Amino acid sequence: MASLDKIMKPKSIAVIGASTKPHTIGSDIMKRLNEYGFKGTVYPVNPKGGVIEGLQAYTNVLEVPGEVDMAIIVVNSKFVLSTIDQCNEKGIKGLVVISAGFKEAGAEGAALEAELLKKVRQYGMRCVGPNCLGVVNTLPEVRMDGCFAETLPVRGDIGFVSQSGALGGGILNILKDLGIGFAQFISIGNQADINAEDAIEYWENEDDVKQILLYMESIQNPANFRRLASRITKKKPILALKAGRSAAGASAASSHTGSLAGSDKAAEALLRQSGVIREYSLEQLFSTAKVFKNCPLPKGDRVCIITNSGGPGIMATDAICEYGMQMAQLTEETKAELRSFLPAAASVKNPVDMIASAPLEHYQKTLTTVLADPNVDMVISIYLPFLGLRDIDVAKALMQIKAEHPEKPIVGVFMTKNEFFSAISEMDVTIPFFQFAEEAVDGLARLNMQRKWMERPMGTFPRYEVDQTRAQAVFDAAKAEGRAELTTRESLDVLDAYGVRVCRAGFARSEEEAVALANKIGYPVVMKMTSKTTSHKTDVGGVRVNMDSEETLRANYRDLIEKLREKGLLEGLEGVIIQEMVKSSRELVCGIADDPQYGPMIMFGLGGVFVEVMKDVTFNLAPLTDIDAHEMVRSVKAYKLLTGARGTTPADVAKVEETLLRLSQLVTDFPSVAELDINPLMISDKNGEAIAVDGRIKVKL
């Protein structure tokens, strides 16, 4: 990714469209480059020539006397292509196209953007934009503010990608108030060439960038994003605000960027499987960034709270438990040490309540004592203003102790006036401070998520021995008939070919064949119609269960035929499937759904008639790793049903996971699968075996 050096670490920049006219983009960019102290050479380019920001302006980029690494283009969109031609002639390899009027403006603009990309690829260039705010690098040896935000950048450790230029500019303007700063910033705009994946790959080995933040409205190449992000998040955290969660929001995202917005379930799965920490507001995004800036990763999830007020300590405790973290169990030695200096009314259990009269010395001693406890991984220090104790004095004391004990995360909760937070925004703080306990716990939870991800094995993509030829024959037969819906029999045949345990069953075209099959399989049996015209069998009484004798089977078969004749559906009937009757009190669902942007998703959860009502399901993108399948099964509430609850036989969970992995292999081998449902996937009461009782597959023609 050294190709981005020409953009992010240029030694010379040509501003094409530089201007002396106040409050224009061409003027503001020149001012920012000058005011921030760019360490290289700036060449203003303007058809009128003259002097801009004290520098000689050139009427054409070809007139520039020296070599140029990067051009910032701020001209009318109709002149951009010819400008790129001139940049190529000059030997420029890095472009930042600020100009708008491309894909976001409609079909004509999209065609213009396609030509832009064609030229960029033809000339071996890299391009940020078009329709973007620009780029920033605060590295002292670079000091490049190549964008037109109103205020100069604040130095920090964040690499930030924004798909929205205006939003990125707004954030740059309030960095000081947020208490954070950027190492590098890229406004990708329409991302014709350089996108979020390029940025995170570039920053993977940039020591200056300790954490990566993304504001995204679309993800262009989900598979590539997953490949890169799952690797990079093992080295440094990636935090993402993915907009367009609601149907209305997704529509707005599409019209704003000209990009197709996929479903939020798929985006959620992609980020989770990539180890990306997803945030749902800008406030939360930068609150988390503040925690990662000032805290090391913890060794575990045990949290200790120290406070001078019981109420906030209890609320923090609740939040810690809700996140699945633990309240640290302090050692007897720690408790004894706390008792030696805290008043008798204080509580030395966790949370440690020093009571309202706690002086500064008690904050110092208590924090030092609990940090030394081997059972404590993280600490929250809560302050409420009592008895003249000054908030800023407590904050300074905590930061001093942090300097002496840098190995454990410490977060401050200061329920005090806003003046305190204004004051610390002017200081070089080393601890994240929040006004409310829940915010602090949120931050520690994100640290813990990153710790768990970095400890999590990458996983493998298992490949099983399957009968791909047999499955292909079923798909080919349906396609030859122009059918997108496979019959139940065909669906079960495909599942069986891929090693999914299906019911022992057979196909019958007549009453006598049905009886012969049932006698062979053994009663009780289930009878299911299979039709090329009716996919939902329950609507017409096409599923008959628990038939325990030949007489019962014959009566049900005749009744089914009569019902279909009455509804005019008899002609589409292929026959019936006779299946073993699986006795189960636990019904699961698993399947495949295809997302137009992100590709196939694997679904798992509580099945049967409750699937639409309870919605206790989870989604992951295919292909699944073995770790993905393991986590999917355990992420739903229905998992408790598999562990042997209320005396039931424990499920063979490994086989449930294997079923998901086999479905993942199926859709990887056959991307034409648009939908697949196994509902129910029954867990046998007899031996805990997972058995596909019914199947439904739909393909793309």
Of 341, 338, 340, 343, nearest in space to 306 by CA: 338
**134: Cβ contacts below 8 Å, ≥ 6 apart:** 29, 72, 96, 98, 128, 146, 147, 148, 187
Q: Are 179 and 153 found together in one domain?
A: yes
Q: Are 371 and 409 found together in one domain?
A: yes
CB 579 within 8 A of CB 526: yes
Question: What own/partner pairs with CB < 8 Å and gap ≥ 24 does 100-108 have?
Answer: 100/130, 100/131, 101/76, 101/77, 101/130, 101/131, 102/77, 102/130, 102/131, 102/190, 102/192, 103/131, 103/190, 103/192, 103/257, 103/258, 103/259, 104/131, 104/190, 104/256, 104/257, 104/258, 105/77
State the Cα–Cα distance between residues 694 and 701, nearest whole angstrom: 23
State the pLDDT at residue 247: 53
Quick: pLDDT tens for 199-224: 999 999 999 999 999 998 888 899 99
Q: Are 574 and 595 found together in one domain?
A: no
- Burial (0-12, 13-18, 19+ Cβ within 10 Å), 463: exposed
State the Cα–Cα distance between residues 478 and 484, nearest whole angstrom: 7
Q: Is the dihedral of CA 62, 63, 69, 75 positive or negative?
A: negative
CA angle 220, 223, 225 (to 5 degrees): 65
CB 329 within 8 A of CB 337: no
Inter-axis angle of helices 264-273 and 222-232, to 10 degrees? 30
Neighbours of 406 (CB within 10 A): 12
Q: What is the value of pTM for the model shown? A: 0.89
**Token pair for 134:** 């620009």
Q: 60 lies in a domain?
A: yes
Of 390, 394, 386, 425, nearest in space to 410 by CA: 394
User: What Å distances lie between residue 138 and 32, 142, 199, 293, CA to CA?
Assistant: 12, 7, 16, 16
Q: Which residues of the chain have pLDDT under 50?
A: 248-262
**Token pair for 47:** 């058809």
Q: Are 302 and 155 found together in one domain?
A: no
CATH number at residue 690: 3.30.470.20
Omega prior to 671 cis, within 30 of 0: no
Q: 266 lies in a domain?
A: yes
Q: 464 lies in a domain?
A: no
State the pLDDT at residue 164: 82
Of 236, 192, 238, 234, nearest in space to 215 by CA: 238
- Burial (0-12, 13-18, 19+ Cβ within 10 Å), 455: exposed
Residue 462: its H or E element: none
State the pLDDT at residue 351: 97
CATH number at residue 226: 3.40.50.261
Longest Cα–Cα distance in the chain: 101
For residue 108, the one-letter residue type is E
Q: Are 571 and 592 found together in one domain?
A: no
Last-in-domain residue among 581, 598, 630: 581
Of 329, 271, 309, nearest in space to 436 by CA: 309
Q: Are 120 and 30 found together in one domain?
A: yes
CA angle 68, 70, 72 (to 5 degrees): 120
Domain count, the chain: 4
State the Cα–Cα distance between residues 342 and 377, nearest whole angstrom: 22
State the pLDDT at residue 451: 98
Last-in-domain residue among 224, 258, 291: 291
User: CA 40: distance to chain centroid?
Assistant: 37
Rounded to 10 degrees, the C-alpha dihedral 367/353/316/326 comes to: 70
HSE on the CB side for 434, CA within 13 Å? 26
Q: Are 546 and 654 found together in one domain?
A: no
Report the relative pairing of strands 505-508 and 573-580 from DSSP bridges: antiparallel
DSSP annotation string for 648-659:
PPPP-HHHHHHH
CATH number at residue 562: 3.30.1490.20
Q: Which domain holds residue 150?
A: 2-291
Q: 494 lies in a domain?
A: no
State the pLDDT at residue 250: 46
Buried b (16+ CB within 10 A) or exposed e, 577-593: bbbbbbebebbbbbbbb
Last-in-domain residue among 272, 291, 310: 291
State the Cα–Cα distance between residues 62 and 85, nearest whole angstrom: 11
Which residue carries 């809560």 as its tokens?
382
Quick: pLDDT tens for 382-421: 999 988 899 999 999 999 999 999 999 999 999 999 899 9
Q: 78 lies in a domain?
A: yes
Q: 14 lies in a domain?
A: yes
Q: Are 432 and 401 found together in one domain?
A: yes
State the Cα–Cα distance between residues 687 and 655, nearest whole angstrom: 12
What backbone torsions phi and psi does residue 449 show, to the nearest 5 degrees? -60, -45
CA angle 97, 99, 105 (to 5 degrees): 120
Q: 27 lies in a domain?
A: yes
Q: 519 lies in a domain?
A: yes
Q: Are 83 and 127 found together in one domain?
A: yes
Of 462, 491, 386, nearest in space to 626 by CA: 462
Q: Are 341 and 428 found together in one domain?
A: yes
Q: Are 441 and 533 found together in one domain?
A: no
* Three-class DSSP category at 500: coil
Q: Are 591 and 575 found together in one domain?
A: no
Helix, strand, coil percentages for the chain (3-state, nearest 5):
40, 20, 35
* Three-class DSSP category at 82: helix
State the Cα–Cα distance between residues 74 and 480, nearest whole angstrom: 55
